Chain A
Amino acid sequence: MSAMRVDAKVVMLGKESVGKTSLVERYVHHRFLVGPYQNTIGAAFVAKPIQVGDKVITLGIWDTAGSERYEAMSRIYYRGARAAVVCYGKSTLGKYNKNTIKSKRCYRQVKCKSESIGAQYFETSSKTGKNVGKFYWQLVVSAVPSEAFVSLEETGVDLDQKKDSYFYTCCHNN
């Protein structure tokens, strides 16, 4: 049971088939599975231990259902989360923006938006693993503030000191 102990909760948000699970899968298992439908990869909950200095911090990564019909419920998932990762796929945006100029504008919009809410923006590829490690490391650093490294071990996750971090990630699977 104690193996299930988790220091920081991270929720993955984003529409269906955007590659949330792929991103987790790439990070945790260092693999990228190719299938006809990409959203079926990996388990929904993953506990990932990370070596931080001489301590081991365990990230609890929560996958969420991206379908619109569950949008009203997503609030329930945020509770007690240290960080939220908002995923969107370049390919999904591309659907509406056929030419690159618009696509670039869209990218800028996302970047602007992420800056305006104090989020960090990463462009990652679950297929090649590009930026994934960097992204997660930044996630760990932000979700588990360095001064909390000491106190975390003693008190567990303190909800009052919640410092939410938002991440925008961009996954291109091709």
Chain B
Amino acid sequence: MSQRTERRGIHVDQSDLLCKKGCGYYGNAAWQGLCSKCWREEYQRVRQKQIQDDWALAEKLQREEEEAYASSHSVRDPQSAAGHAALAPFSKFEEKKTNEKTRKVTTVKKFFSPSSRTSSKKESPEGKTPSPSISRHASFDTDQVSKDFVEFLKNLHKPGREIHKQCRAFLMNMSSKKDLGADELSECVQDFYQSLADRLTGHFKGSSESVEQVMDQVEKYIMTRLYKSVFCPETTDDEKKDLAIQHRIRALHWVTIQMLCVSMDEEIPEVSENVLKAITDVIEMDSKRVPRDKLACITRCSKHIFSAIRITKNEPASADDFLPALIYIVLKANPPRLQSNIQYITRFCNPSRLMTGEDGYYFTNLCCAVAFIEKLDAQSLNLSPEEFERYMSGQASPRFSSSDGDWPDGAQGVGVAVTNPALAQLNHNLELLSGLCSRQEAVMEAAQSLQADLLSWSESVQREVRDILEKYPLEIKSSKVSAIDTNNVDNENLPSPIKPQVFAG
């Protein structure tokens, strides 16, 4: 083996291939030059150390953050205890991630540098850095919200300070309750809203408008801070439900606008524009943190649906039109983390808004739409159970198999065109193209006949000329050829022709 490598001009010593631990087995570059057995031992050791290092680093970061938090807010102790408890699962996850990273780095790097062990160690703190920076970035938003909140409260003077104090106390209280279930957390938040609203009503002497204003700000501040820990918490099966509904909507991709009896005509550009906006809005909901902002997304989405229906029907829409349209939009949008968002809003939104107002109405409709999608069966789409099964299993698609004739309404041709605007556009373009094609053929035909005409015309001209020539043959009088002036009568009167003169050289 060594001979062969020497022939190639790369010198590899036999000893280099052996395990670096000197156990006599061959080592492997992927295992930092160790044999499999030694590598496992070594890896375990490094891993242990890594865990310890990470733990220490995480603790240090946590301390730093707490100090920063304490110095900026002049509150400190109760958080630290809860903070450590909350940190444990996080740092464990982090440690797993860094280990994966270092291993990858070593395997690749080993091929190029012999001293990868040290480099891998250097790598680990680097691999660590992104996480604090991310959390810092996230907390930037939170800080902004806190700043706005403080600004807002400044205008309220003394009660503002009181509200701030209560909110902070509540947040601290919440951070110690992180192990509670989602329902208990929800109850805590709702109780807080209720008691604060009661107090504010007492303070503002029944001016509900000011109370609402303050409550909105309080909700924004509190929920931005709590969002991470209470949105889709591990204690619930929200995530499972999210995935379930996502799969369900995906499986229902074949549902058409006609099956739902939606009165929206997407052929009309304004309508399809509104439909797109509605889809965007309902998807955007997931990106908001405050329940009220999420609700606002749903409301915007609903308003666009109403516009779409109004444009289509030329009349304002009623609930009978709206709900099917919303179901259609949800099916088309497949909004991310739909169940989590609904649960989050239900649990943590200020109830007076959720229950009765306009936002509440649209939110309730969204819940209905989701419930409908979950329970949807053949009957709810006016299909036979067999058809429904075929569509669900993907054996048939209503868009292509509509010619089977099982379609509930007669106008399938139109239905297919309306079903998919892209398809309709495609058909339209194809029609245009075929029209162009036939026109081109017509032009070609005309050109060819013109060519034939031209040819026959020139032939006919030639023939005519020939005919005329035959009819009136050209008579050439030979005498005229000898001299042009032979028959010139006044010959004598002309001067004698000029004679050429020759000059001597």
Q: B212 within 8 Å of A by Cβ?
A: yes
Are the C-beta atoms of B355 and A80 separated by less than 8 Å? Answer: yes
**Of residues 129 to 168 in A, which have CB atoms within 8 Å of B's CB atoms?**
153-157, 159
Binding site for A on B (CB under 8 A): 197-198, 201-202, 206, 208-209, 212-213, 216, 261, 306, 313, 315-324, 351-353, 355-362, 364-365, 367-368, 371-372, 375, 379-380
Residues of B within 8 A of A33 (CB): 315
B201 touches A67 (CB 8 A): no
Q: Is the contact region of chain B dominated by helix, strand, or loop, or is it mixed?
A: helix
- Does the CB pair B361–A45 fall under 8 Å? yes
Most buried by B among A5, A16, A66, A157: A5
Give residues in A with beta carbon < 8 Å to B. Answer: 1-2, 4-9, 16-17, 20-21, 33, 35, 39-45, 47, 60, 62-67, 69-70, 72-73, 76-77, 79-80, 153-157, 159
Residue pair A1, B212 in contact (C-beta under 8 Å): yes
A1-B216, A154-B201 known; A6 vs B357 contact (CB < 8 Å): yes
- Please, which residues of chain B bring their CB within 8 A of the CB of A8? 356
B317 contact set on A, CB distance < 8 A: 40, 43-44
Q: Pick from A41, A72, A156, A159: contact of B197, CB below 8 A.
A: A156
**Other-chain contact of B315, A41, A65, A67, A70 (Cβ < 8 Å):** A41
CB distance from A101 to the nearest CB of B (A): 32
Shortest beta-carbon distance from A146 to chain B in Å = 17
Q: List residues of chain B with CB within 8 A of the CB of A39.
A: 318, 320
- Tell me if B356 and A9 are in contact (CB < 8 A): yes
> Are A40 and B323 closer than 8 Å at their CB atoms?
no
Taking the nearest CB of chain A, how far is it from the CB of B204, in angstroms? 10
Nearest A residue to B381 by beta-carbon distance?
A69
Q: What are the 5 closest A-B residue pairs judged by CB atoms, nearest first?
A: A63-B319, A80-B355, A6-B356, A65-B323, A45-B361
Query: Do B316 and A67 touch (CB < 8 A)?
Result: no
| Least CB distance, A158 to chain B, in whole angstroms | 10
Complexed CA–CA distance, A33 and B359 (Å): 27
Whether A2 lies near B212 (C-beta < 8 A) is yes
Q: Is the CB of B320 within 8 A of A60?
A: no
- CB pair A77–B364 under 8 Å, yes or no, is yes
A64 CA to B316 CA in the complex, in Å? 15
What is the CB-to-nearest-CB distance from A89 to chain B, in angstroms, rounded to a whole number? 14
Q: Tell whether A40 pairs with B364 under 8 Å between CB atoms, given A153-B206, A154-B206.
A: no
Find chain B residues with CB under 8 A from A7 CB.
356
Chain A residues in 8 Å Cβ range of B359: 4
Cβ contact within 8 Å between A65 and B357: no
Bound together, the chains give a CA A153 to CA B201 distance in angstroms of 9
Which residue of A66, A77, A79, A154 is within 8 Å of B320 (Cβ)?
A66
Chain A residues in 8 Å Cβ range of B353: 4
Residues on A with beta carbons closer than 8 Å to the beta carbon of B368: 65, 70, 73, 76-77
Partner of B352, one of A21, A35, A76, A157: A157
Interface contact B322-A2, CB-CB below 8 Å: no
When chains A and B are docked, how far (Å) is the Cα of A159 from the Cα of B371? 23
Q: Is the CB of B375 within 8 A of A42?
A: no
A36: nearest residue on chain B (CB-CB)? B315
The one of B318, B324, B358 that contacts A42, using a Cβ cutoff of 8 Å: B318
- Of A17, A40, A73, which contacts B371 at CB under 8 A? A73
Q: Which residue of B lies closest to A38 (CB)?
A: B318
A4 to chain B minimum Cβ distance, whole angstroms, is 4
With A154-B201, A157-B356 as contacts: A72 and B371 at CB distance below 8 Å? yes
Query: Closest chain B residue to A16 by CB distance?
Result: B320
- B-side contacts of A17, CB under 8 Å: 320
Q: Which residue of A lies closest to B263 (CB)?
A: A40
With A40-B313, A40-B317, A153-B208 known as contacts, the answer to whether A9 contacts B355 (CB < 8 A) is yes
Question: Separation in Å of the B164 CB from the closest CB of chain A?
Answer: 22
- Residues of A contacting B371 with CB < 8 Å? 72-73, 76
**Closest Cβ neighbor of A80 among chain B residues:** B355
